[in-house]
Amino acid sequence: MVSHMIITTTAHIEGKKITAYQGIVFGEVITGINVFKDFGAGIRNIVGGRSKSYEDELTVARENALSEMESRASAKGANAIVGMKMDYEVLGADNGMLMVTCSGTAVKLMDESEYLG
């Protein structure tokens, strides 16, 4: 994901002025976890170590959720998101689904040319 929009967990952006609040935006991703990856992760749980396949799956889900939230903010005319929060959940009877959600407030920042000139 190549982002040109500032996304921050803080309520303000140092050196930037918020001129308008465009509302709350969300990004949600629910993905199934591959059975073969599960088997490999199970072995690592027994012998110890990290599960690269799960980490990769989590990274992709997180990037997709952020991208979805950014698209929704852009559609509202925003050029930044403040107060971003992210959450992860494992779902399903066999814990075979991963849900990643993020939310934040879409805002418009003052164009630098407005306060430089």
Whole-number Å distance between alpha carbons of 14 and 10: 10
Answer whether 102's CB lies under 8 Å from 22's CB. Answer: no
Residue 60 placed within a domain: yes
Answer whether 83's CB lies under 8 Å from 104's CB. Answer: yes
Domain that holds residue 40: 6-116
Task: Kindly report the CATH number assigned to the domain that includes residue 65.
Answer: 3.30.110.70
pLDDT tens track, the chain, 117 positions: 446 899 999 999 999 999 999 999 999 999 887 644 555 555 545 455 666 777 888 899 999 999 999 999 999 999 999 999 999 998 887 777 889 999 999 999 997 666 555
Place of tokens 């805002």: 107
Q: What is the pLDDT of residue 114?
A: 61
Q: What is the pLDDT of residue 94?
A: 77
Residue 1 placed within a domain: no
Place of tokens 């852009």: 74
Residue 42 placed within a domain: yes
Q: How many domains does the chain have?
A: 1
Residue 103 placed within a domain: yes
Place of tokens 């050029």: 79
Residues with Cβ within 8 Å of residue 98, at least 6 apart in sequence? 30, 31, 32, 33, 57, 58, 61, 88, 89, 90, 91
Whole-number Å distance between alpha carbons of 17 and 68: 24
